[in-house]
A and B are shown apart, each in its own frame.
Chain A
């Protein structure tokens, strides 16, 4: 019997481990305040650079009576939920915009209607794609911060070696992509030495689908369209590009060795020719590979029209926020045009001190971006980078975003898993996306109840 008891205790310990997981409360018990006074706590944000610190300082300067407590670190769902469950949530959370629909639907975050009115926040200044991502059923739940967009990077040196120009890389012509890819990639003996075209799936599948004329998720975020023939076609196109380059095993293992943040990046090491990627790589390239033969082009749909997918973070105010007024003042200040301008000025100064070019700050506030580029931006003198900055600016208005959804995380998982099954050779695109459609629909239906 004693052995049975021992076994029970073992098993009990297991249950504790898996059912009693807790987090760290991010809020404060010190009492809140009213207006712009009292304690104010944030989660998911950090003083990572001058853009962050300048804006925090601006808020502190304007609100000396607010005792701001910034719990540094990326947003952690477990930490956040534990804080909510314990009745001690932080006032503000800095989270990925695609999570907002889920938390809004469940009532974990506040509608910002009153906040917007009270602080007279002009929602019109924010880019439409970012605004849509923080809006569920017509109600705004978050104030967007940065705007990350995707463009196509080309290694012109490698293109020249293949006898091609940047203009000849036409991502609108899907039928011609395999031939182009074959010219650019280098595969020998099953070993991939250079990627020709990286379709960046599964992450960029929504952008390929959009280029093919279909949204993977309905505008209200409640209906998946993953088994649409155009999505299947987009996935098939991307998968074929990878299969051409030694298959997913070789392709991924080669790509996993890339360091996009250092001097030994794949551009400088001539490891990749054409790839869509977020605009932040331009900053890294300007810093680490200023002499690289880089060309940046817009991603395009099948008619050749520029297209990009927008993503980024947003500030939300939690339902149990103890100091919602100060929180509202905070989100306004952090995303206001003047604050962004001051932060960008700090970035310009920092880059100048380091002898590096300033290639812009891209926010979800269109007015702020205009001022930053009108008043602070100076061409670097390197035509490649200056053209790239112009390209990135030009595609901001062509951006779309996956809409806020009450089951955003499950929707993402459904299509990521589908693409990975196809890449691993387990399923065909149609079969995988049909299963993903069933999984996503079940999750969306359940979340909508």
Chain B
């Protein structure tokens, strides 16, 4: 009687074909892996080393131990820029997700014109970030900007979006909604993939529209919601181009805007690195942001185990 050896758990038995396929897979992946090592992993390790040094780019780095990290903890400008960035992220991400979901639900009902509106909503994403910054500087002008003019039509005296420190961040958040098109498209695609029979079954069971949305739509698109949550959170924490263009981009704007109110973390990092030549300190700032993003992402991933449903996944 032949005996059958059961597979050892945790150890895969690979056929010659599988091994050959794996070699080919690595070969095809090699350009990306090499690129990653040279252009991602290399600079990351270099910046980790630099974060423990005093380095001005011009002279060799001088090892200073944890000085840069100590300074990070006590520098009010870092705390201010981090606070602004977290404030922006906390408002921007939920707003983008809510508005995008609302627009995607509307688009799903549009019918034949869906393709047209999909393009219309996506077009702003194609606008260069620098152009968006300049455009919104004009739109947010206190006296002559279109936004305050529109508010004036309904009897509201618009605020000083770009000069009042309390209104600078809301103005930036308003600007950030300009490019929510990609999130809309992702949600629309997810909505279109929800099987119709689930809605029919729910309707037969007596579920109203809200119950169907809560119990069918949301779980079925939770994967897309989670993806956009992660991506938008990371992008928000890295906010740079539009705000830099608006408030720091040239001599005139640098001079006359309130940099406390508009200072984002990566903008402050850029200034430390390239304007003040504190590359070691800027590297420490980069690693602090890395850790913050890592922690936030891990928390989100952990929470996703409870809230995200992946089709075909056993729970």
Q: Which residues of A contact B (CB under 8 A)?
A: 3-4, 6-8, 10-21, 77-78, 81, 84-85, 102-103, 106-108, 190-192, 202-203, 247-250, 252-254, 256-257, 319, 407, 409-410, 413, 416-417, 420-421, 423-424, 426, 443
Which of A191, A409, A416 is in CB contact (< 8 Å) with B275?
A409
Residue of B nearest to A409 (CB): B275
Q: Which residues of B contact A (CB under 8 A)?
A: 39-41, 43-44, 46-47, 50, 56-59, 137, 141-145, 157, 159-160, 162-165, 230, 234, 237-238, 254-261, 266, 269-271, 273-277, 282-283, 286-287, 289-290, 293-294, 297-298, 301, 304
Give 3 nearest A-B pairs by CB, closest first. A249-B160, A20-B43, A19-B47
Residue of B nearest to A23 (CB): B274
Q: How far is the CA of A250 from the CA of B292 in the complex (A)?
A: 39
Contact A4 B298 (CB under 8 A): yes
Residues of B contacting A409 with CB < 8 Å?
275-276
Residue of A nearest to B159 (CB): A249
Residues of A contacting B287 with CB < 8 Å?
15, 19
Contact A253 B143 (CB under 8 A): yes
Interface class of chain B by DSSP: helix
Residues of B contacting A81 with CB < 8 Å?
57-58, 274, 277
Residue of A nearest to B164 (CB): A249
Residues of B contacting A17 with CB < 8 Å?
238
CB distance from B245 to the nearest CB of A (A): 14
Known contacts A78-B274, A191-B143, A253-B163; is A107 also within 8 Å of B301 by CB?
A: no
Known contacts A15-B286, A20-B43, A253-B145; is A421 also within 8 Å of B163 by CB?
A: no
Residues of A contacting B163 with CB < 8 Å?
248-249, 252-253, 423-424
Residues of B contacting A20 with CB < 8 Å?
39-40, 43-44, 46-47
Contact A8 B294 (CB under 8 A): yes
Residues of A contacting B159 with CB < 8 Å?
249
CB distance from B133 to the nearest CB of A (A): 14
CB distance from B285 to the nearest CB of A (A): 8
Q: Given A8-B294, A203-B255, A247-B160, 11 other A-B contacts at CB below 8 A?
A: A10-B234, A16-B43, A19-B282, A20-B46, A21-B273, A249-B163, A253-B144, A423-B258, A424-B163, A426-B165, A443-B276
CB distance from B57 to the nearest CB of A (A): 5
Residues of B contacting A21 with CB < 8 Å?
270, 273
Residues of A contacting B145 with CB < 8 Å?
253
Known contacts A20-B47, A102-B277, A253-B141; is A420 also within 8 Å of B256 by CB?
A: yes
Contact A424 B258 (CB under 8 A): yes
Q: How far is the CA of A36 from the CA of B39 in the complex (A)?
A: 39
Q: How far is the CA of A123 from the CA of B283 in the complex (A)?
A: 41
Residues of B contacting A203 with CB < 8 Å?
255-256
Residue of B nearest to A426 (CB): B165
Q: How far is the CA of A249 from the CA of B165 in the complex (A)?
A: 10
Q: How far is the CA of A194 from the CA of B91 in the complex (A)?
A: 38
Contact A10 B230 (CB under 8 A): yes
Which of B59, B260, B293 is in CB contact (< 8 Å) with A417?
B260
Which of B43, B143, B255, B298 is in CB contact (< 8 Å) with A250?
B143
Contact B57 A420 (CB under 8 A): no
Contact B164 A424 (CB under 8 A): yes
Residues of A contacting B294 with CB < 8 Å?
7-8, 11
Contact A15 B277 (CB under 8 A): no
CB distance from B148 to the nearest CB of A (A): 9
Known contacts A14-B289, A16-B43, A20-B47; is A249 also within 8 Å of B142 by CB?
A: yes
Interface class of chain A by DSSP: helix
CB distance from A97 to the nearest CB of B (A): 14
CB pairs A–B below 8 angstroms (12 shown): A10-B234, A11-B293, A19-B286, A85-B57, A103-B58, A108-B58, A191-B143, A203-B256, A250-B143, A253-B145, A426-B165, A426-B258
Contact B238 A416 (CB under 8 A): no
Contact A18 B289 (CB under 8 A): yes
Known contacts A18-B286, A253-B144, A253-B145; is A10 also within 8 Å of B165 by CB?
A: no
CB distance from A241 to the nearest CB of B (A): 15
Contact A19 B58 (CB under 8 A): no
Known contacts A253-B141, A416-B255, A443-B276; is A14 also within 8 Å of B43 by CB?
A: no
Contact B143 A254 (CB under 8 A): yes
CB distance from A309 to the nearest CB of B (A): 14
Residues of A contacting B289 with CB < 8 Å?
14-15, 18
CB distance from B290 to the nearest CB of A (A): 5
Which of A253, A319, A421 is in CB contact (< 8 Å) with B258?
A421
Q: How far is the CA of A256 from the CA of B140 in the complex (A)?
A: 11
Residue of A nearest to B269 (CB): A18
Residue of A nearest to B168 (CB): A424
Contact B58 A16 (CB under 8 A): no
Known contacts A14-B238, A426-B165; is A107 also within 8 Å of B276 by CB?
A: no
Known contacts A248-B160, A416-B255; is A19 also within 8 Å of B260 by CB?
A: no
Contact A416 B254 (CB under 8 A): yes
Contact B256 A252 (CB under 8 A): yes
Residues of A contacting B39 with CB < 8 Å?
16, 20
CB distance from A26 to the nearest CB of B (A): 14
Q: How far is the CA of A59 from the CA of B293 in the complex (A)?
A: 53
Residue of B nearest to A407 (CB): B276
CB distance from A201 to the nearest CB of B (A): 9
Q: How far is the CA of A424 from the CA of B143 in the complex (A)?
A: 16
Known contacts A13-B40, A19-B286, A81-B277; is A420 also within 8 Å of B257 by CB?
A: yes
Which of A11, A319, A413, A424 is in CB contact (< 8 Å) with B297?
A11
Q: How far is the CA of A257 from the CA of B41 in the complex (A)?
A: 46
Known contacts A18-B266, A409-B276, A424-B258; is A12 also within 8 Å of B142 by CB?
A: no
Q: How far is the CA of A203 from the CA of B256 in the complex (A)?
A: 8
